[in-house]
Amino acid sequence: MRKHLLLGLLLSFTLGGPAAFADVPAPGAGVSFSLIKTGHVHSPAGLVYSGGSFFQKLEINHVAVLVQHPRGSFLFDSGLGREVAAQYQQDVPWWAKPSFRYEQPVTPARDQLDRAGITVPRIILSHSHWDHASGLVDFPEAQVWITSEERDWDRQHPGFPGAFPSQIDPPSIQWHTYALENKPYFGFPRSLDLFGDGSAVLVPLFGHTPGAVGLLLTLASGKQYLFCGDTVWSAQALKESRPKSFLASLIADNDREATQHAIEQLHQLMQEHTGLVVVPAHDAALQDTLGYFPQWVR
Ligand SMILES: [Zn+2]
């Protein structure tokens, strides 16, 4: 209970001749992404990361990342969905509501995609926290990918502050559990190459939640983006290898030690790959520089 009260304070390269090459896209060819902003809130920097100022407010975004690939599009996370108000009402305890909140407007990914005539057959969750899973129920035709570690945890520990029953229990959701393969990639011990061409690869970032993953995209330009979920909430934290504020980490990070390990791993990667852009799920300042749907990063 004490912990809950504290939480209230937060918120192919196919081998072949030239003819074969003509038909097979190079890694990253035709891959692009667009950030779908579904909502936001403001929070003191001092809560967002250790050492941040309590006098500076940061904008915290809630986004779904739309990825387009010649062999299929998918969303990485779903952001705040059409049903977020009812989900919030049902699964956030009364005592947490004043501080555990989101601001208006909410612009669900489904609404934005419908207006653009875009359908997505697959959603991949970075992890199942409420602000990442809220929109799942809006996509009953999509397969929802989640690591078996994350799914098991959610089943064993349902409810606030973890995954919300109102968001993950609806029978309309088509769950697909998967396991990362024992294939080292980019310094990570395991990975899952979604299309077999190295353009979109899932990597383990366990810690914040037991089965959290990051998504590493390599675009046609050669530019690389690593979407790191909630391992950190701001890029500044990553630059300085800082955890969330003590209180925030205590409550939000399932395994604080593993989360810090993941932060240091990402920090190291950024040192080794200076062109790599690591995108925390909630860092509005960084995301502003990438633009929002229907703007694309190619
Ligand atoms: Zn989270």
What would the two tokens of residue 17 be?
Answer: 């001749």
CA nearest to 218, candidates 25, 82, 6, 75: 25
Is the model's pTM score more than 0.75? yes
Q: If you average pLDDT over every residue of the chain, what do you get?
A: 90
3-state SS of 128-188?
CCHHHHCCHHHCCCCEEEEEHHHHHHHHHCCCCCCCCHHHHCCCCCEEEEECCECCCECCE
- Compute the distance from residue 23 Cα to the ligand 1 centre, in Å: 40
CA of 266 to the centre of ligand 1 (A): 17
Q: How far is the CA of 38 from the centre of ligand 1 (A)?
A: 16
To which H or E segment does residue 286 belong?
A: helix 284-290
Report residue 24 CA to chain centroid gap: 29
The predicted structure's pLDDT at residue 28: 60
The rounded Å distance from CA 217 to ligand 1 centre is 21
> Ligand 1 centre from 252 Cα, in Å?
7
- Judge whether residue 110 has pLDDT over 70: yes
pLDDT of residue 30: 82
Distance of alpha carbon 67 from alpha carbon 292, whole angstroms:
13
Confidence band, pLDDT 50/70/90 cuts, at residue 269:
very high
> HSE on the CB side for 221, CA within 13 Å?
9
Q: Which of residues 1 and 265 earns the better pLDDT score? A: 265
Tens-place pLDDT, residues 4-44: 433 444 443 333 333 333 344 455 668 999 999 999 999 99
Is pLDDT above 70 for 213?
yes
**Ligand 1 geometric centre to CA of 176 (Å):** 20
Per-residue pLDDT, averaged over 260-264, amounts to 97
1 or 285, which is more confident:
285
| Helices vs. strands in the chain: H and E counts, helices first | 12, 11
Bigger pLDDT: 199 vs 160: 199
What is the model's pLDDT at position 22? 36
Task: Output the pLDDT for position 14.
Answer: 31
The predicted structure's pLDDT at residue 27: 53
Domains of the chain, residue spans: 2-16+26-290
Candidate CATH numbers 3.50.50.60, 3.60.15.10, 3.40.1190.10, 3.30.379.10; the one for domain 2-16+26-290: 3.60.15.10
- As a whole number of angstroms, the distance between CA 127 and CA 150 comes to 7
Distance (Å) from CA 98 to ligand 1 centroid: 19
pLDDT at 274 over 90: yes
> What's the CA-to-centroid distance between 161 and ligand 1, angstroms?
10
Distance 178 CA to ligand 1 centre (A): 20
Q: Can you tell me the mean pLDDT for 223-242?
A: 96
C-alpha span between 204 and 54 (Å, rounded): 31
Which residues fall inside 5 Å of ion ligand 1, going by CB? Answer: 129, 230
Residue 163 CA to ligand 1 center (angstroms) comes to 9
Residue 119 CA, ligand 1 centroid: distance in Å: 26
Q: How far is the CA of 130 from the centre of ligand 1 (A)?
A: 8
Distance 67 CA to ligand 1 centre (A): 21
From residue 274, alpha-carbon distances to 184, 225, 258, 265, 266 in Å are 20, 11, 24, 14, 12
Tens of pLDDT, residue by residue over 61-103, are 999 999 999 999 999 999 999 999 999 999 998 887 776 789 9
pLDDT per position as a tens digit, 130-155: 999 999 999 999 999 999 999 999 99
Q: What is the distance in A from the centroid of ligand 1 to the CA of 276?
A: 22
Region class of 33: left (phi > 0), else alpha (psi between -120 and 50), else beta: beta
Task: Give the pLDDT mean for 155-178.
Answer: 95
The residue-averaged pLDDT of 227-238 equals 96
Q: What's the CA-to-centroid distance between 24 and ligand 1, angstroms?
A: 37
CA dist., res. 128 & res. 20, Å (int): 41
Confidence of residue 185 (pLDDT cuts 50, 70, 90): very high
Please tell me the distance between residue 149's alpha carbon and the centre of ligand 1 in angstroms.
15
- 12 CA to centre of ligand 1 in angstroms: 34
- Among 96, 93, 86, CA closest to 10: 96
